[in-house]
Structure 1
Amino acid sequence: MNILHYSLGFPPFRRGGMTQYCLDLMLEQVKAGHQVSLLWPGRLYDLTQKSKVNEKQKYKLQNDLYCTSYELLNPLPIPLMDGIQDPATYLVKKEKTVYIEFFQKHTFQMLHIHTFMGLPSELIEAAHEVGVKTVFTTHDYFPICPRCNLFHAGKDCQDDKKCSDCVSCNQYGLSFNKMKFFQSELYKRVKESSVIKMLRARHNRKMYDATEQVIESEIIDAKKQKKYQNLRDRNIELLEKMDAVHFNSTNTLWVYKKRGYTGNNANVISISNGAIVDHKRIRKVGSSVRFGYLGPLTTHKGYNLFKNACDALWLSGEHNFEAHIFVEVSNPSSYMICHKPYSYKELPNVMNQFDVLVTPSEWEETFGFTVLEALSYGIPVIVSEKVGAKDLILEGKNGFVVASSVETLKFQIADLVRHPSIIDDMNAYIEKNFKVKTMKEHSYELNALYKKLLS
């Protein structure tokens, strides 16, 4: 099969879960004998219709396994998670004939899209016109949320009032000239410099503060609201035109449907990555029950929810537990044990530090790889109802799904502290019954979807 992926690019310039997922998937597809290429949005020049596709040097996936690399010149802008200041810049039309000729020249059969960032709608239209089947994987909420995470004013964005909240939430979005710089060859060369890292950290703090603190009525701009609504409507229309939309969880599908997507071409398939393997073993809880939290100190990932639940439990007089976090904090609570941030190669040691993983996200998390990682080590999990990976949970067998409230999480933690044998029983169940999905197996699932579309 001749498969073309569309994603943001290759390391070290592009990183993150989506980039790694795409690389892992392409590697498995190349191993299976498929012809695999990646098209990625490159240098941004202006907002004209002009666009071009350049073939670049092949990218080494592993040993002697390569994929073909194509740069999409003058794509649409790439905001990453910085938000969109002017929605009109993402609705610019491009010359469709360039993409039609590209598809015809290389005889692709599948176009697998991993992001709408930088993606001209004409690319999808061209694929359909020449008979190339299209699949979109929902790694985030960018098609329906310019900030990607549907988190507004310090809480989950349940009702954005027909995009009126997008105006205030995106007020610090990058200007066109900044995005032009961030998509330049110069930025590739200086991205890891100390000055750029400092400026990026400062900008990220500003963006996080804006997400946490923005006031509902702070900015009202009806004309701009309509522009955001037009952009979302266009994106949902593109989703509906896909031959298939691959959702990584039922939660993600539910969120998209709340924003207007019908779900007629939806396929829910849980995901994996190349580092996931079966590490399950029998474990035993010690004298104190150890709970682990692997996220950052942010509201949307649930740190405050976890800490407040543990605080309440501690103040109630229940002290037979520890909370292990993997970030340094000043003045940690008595029950808290802080570890240094870890790299992925240190994960086996990290997983030995706790008996139960807690993933208490307060935003609608599309999946949550830490849940699959913990289960692959035989560790039961407590997840909030907002975590997509709750699809992997069999209630009381390998974990628990709880409401995103302090009282509910406190109750579940307390129950395990008082009855640690439940944890041992869940570990035994996971070790015997939980099937760890590897990237190879996941690639087979997607290959079956491709074949279904091509038949």
Structure 2
Amino acid sequence: MKILHYTIGFAPERTGGLVTYAKDLMLEQIHQNHEVFTLYPTTISSLNKKVKIKKGEDREGIKTYQLINSLPLPFIRGIRQPSDFMVKADESVYKVFLKDLSPDVVHVHSLMGLHKEFFKMARQLGIKVVFTSHDYFGLSPVPEFYFGGHSYDMENTNETWNIMSSLALPTKSLRLFQLPFFPLIRNFKNKISRLRNQDHSHNDKQLDFGEKLVNVNYNELRTYYQSIFKMIDSFHFNSHIAQQVYKNNLCFSPKGKVVSITHAGVKQHNLSQNTSDKLRVAYIGPDKDFKGFFDFINFAENCTDDKLEFHTYGYPPRDELSDKIQQHGRFSYMQVDDVYKNIDAIVVPSKWKETFGFIVIEAISYGKMVFTSETVGSKDLLPKNQVFTDLSEISMLLKDIDFSQTKVNVKKIDEHTKEMIEFYKEVVKG
């Protein structure tokens, strides 16, 4: 099968679960003897602003094409200037590219950067398009549909787009994401932030409505994205939560199905069991409100059960936390085994309606007990007694769980790839 993927790019320029999943899926599709191509947004030309598609270097066998002068990439903080995200491209650029490549199916992992004309030409040429619900961009101006402690997926209006975009960067600033040396800028910024122990996440900031809210008309842009979603032949929802949010916010009933995802690093691990009297409960992730970090800290610091021990990983240690929290900081891929050796249970307390959440399947692969909030998509993989509505339930849940009965049953990337190939075939057959 000949498959064209559209993704936001590759590491180190781009990071996150979407990037990991797209690359691992493509590599496994190649391993299973499929022909794989990818199109992704790269640089912006200051001399010639016409949209171009340029052949890039192969990435571990993946044949790449670079989209020059893509639409802006609003990875953070939303959209300030809607008209910049609806700029038309020359249809012939996409038509020639798709006609020459002639894929059996196109798998789109994000709407960011991609012109509407791409979808129009795919439809005109009879090429089927599949879309994976990695996040909510397009339904929302921010990927999480979450801002200032609130999820807006049930209040999707022009006013809420203004609220979610209230701290948006100008388009010129967003273009920095497409500079070749952007990873250096990002690393430098992260180091400075760590030194100052500052949190720059827009999701953790409270909005002063009187001073910051500007009334921008997003209705045309919202209609623009809805028209793109209408041209998608089938939606691959990575969880039932993602499916429900899309169904609630699309102006039509989307075709598709729920298929949970995985990545190449997920495999069965055999680690020794805890012999300590203490039950080591951990949070792994950034120190962000939308991830539920502060809820976990509050729960841990107020917990009176002396049999529980609390650990955190994944962010620079914060000075203001009490000694009751054992902060281990960031860790590398090479240290993952050591991290899980020192954990008995993982708590995933996300507050946004997370479309999946790889931490759940990774922890399961290490034979660890996992507890998630109701808003984590990968709760699909867990029994109901490991899903909570409030963190205060965790103490009781931990007492009721028989840790000796923990089973390792995870989906590996080769199995998932076969699922997706069958999904493509169903879509192509109509």
- TM-superposition CA deviations, 1:346-373 (whole Å, max 9, x none): 1111111121110011111111111101
With over 3 angstroms needed to count, the CA separation of the structure-2 counterparts of 1:171 and 1:48, relative to structure 1, is farther
**1:415 CA displacement:** 4.5
With over 3 angstroms needed to count, the CA separation of the structure-2 counterparts of 1:200 and 1:349, relative to structure 1, is closer
CA contact (8 A) 2:105 2:424 kept: yes
Distance 1:332 1:200 in 2: 18
**1:296 CA displacement:** 1.9
2:394 is the alignment partner of 1:412: yes
Task: Output aligned runs, 1:1-400, within 5 Å.
Answer: 1-45=1-45, 50-59=50-59, 61=60, 66-160=61-155, 162-185=157-180, 187-188=181-182, 190-191=184-185, 194=188, 208-209=201-202, 211-216=204-209, 219=212, 221-222=214-215, 224=216, 226-227=217-218, 229-280=219-270, 283-284=273-274, 286-314=276-304, 318-326=305-313, 327=315, 328-396=317-385, 400=386
CA contact (8 A) 1:49 1:93 kept: no
Distance 2:322 2:126 in 1: 60
What secondary structure sits across from 1:347 in the alignment? helix
What secondary structure sits across from 2:257 in the alignment? strand
What secondary structure sits across from 1:300 in the alignment? helix
User: Which residue of structure 1 aligns with residue 411 of structure 2?
Assistant: 437
Distance 1:325 1:308 in 2: 13
**1:392 CA displacement:** 0.4
**1:123 CA displacement:** 0.3
CA contact (8 A) 1:280 1:375 kept: no
With over 3 angstroms needed to count, the CA separation of the structure-2 counterparts of 1:238 and 1:280, relative to structure 1, is farther
**Aligned match for 2:403, one of 405, 415, 424:** 424
CA contact (8 A) 2:247 2:254 kept: no
Distance 2:15 2:394 in 1: 35
- Equivalent residues, number: 427
**1:285 CA displacement:** 6.0
Query: TM-score scaled to structure 2, two decimals?
Result: 0.91
**1:201 CA displacement:** 7.9
What secondary structure sits across from 1:180 in the alignment? helix
Distance 2:397 2:264 in 1: 35
Distance 2:210 2:240 in 1: 32
2:421 maps to amino acid: N
Distance 1:219 1:160 in 2: 20
**1:334 CA displacement:** 4.7
CA contact (8 A) 1:355 1:423 kept: no
**1:264 CA displacement:** 2.8
With over 3 angstroms needed to count, the CA separation of the structure-2 counterparts of 1:270 and 1:156, relative to structure 1, is same
CA contact (8 A) 1:75 1:119 kept: yes
Gaps of 5+ in 1: none
- TM-superposition CA deviations, 1:205-251 (whole Å, max 9, x none): 675257521145655555x1x32x33223223322321111111001
- TM-superposition CA deviations, 1:367-401 (whole Å, max 9, x none): 111110111111111100000011001124xxx11
With over 3 angstroms needed to count, the CA separation of the structure-2 counterparts of 1:189 and 1:115, relative to structure 1, is closer
Distance 1:306 1:110 in 2: 43
With over 3 angstroms needed to count, the CA separation of the structure-2 counterparts of 1:201 and 1:352, relative to structure 1, is closer
Query: TM-score scaled to structure 1, two decimals?
Result: 0.86
CA contact (8 A) 1:356 1:423 kept: no
**1:163 CA displacement:** 2.8
With over 3 angstroms needed to count, the CA separation of the structure-2 counterparts of 1:329 and 1:296, relative to structure 1, is same
**1:67 CA displacement:** 1.4
With over 3 angstroms needed to count, the CA separation of the structure-2 counterparts of 1:131 and 1:192, relative to structure 1, is same
1:136 maps to amino acid: F
Distance 1:7 1:344 in 2: 23
2:387 is the alignment partner of 1:401: yes
CA contact (8 A) 2:76 2:202 kept: no
Percent identity reads: 30
After superposition, the CA RMSD in angstroms is 2.7
Bigger shift: residues 366-375 or 9-18 = 9-18
Distance 2:402 2:52 in 1: 56
What secondary structure sits across from 1:57 in the alignment? coil
Distance 2:267 2:51 in 1: 41
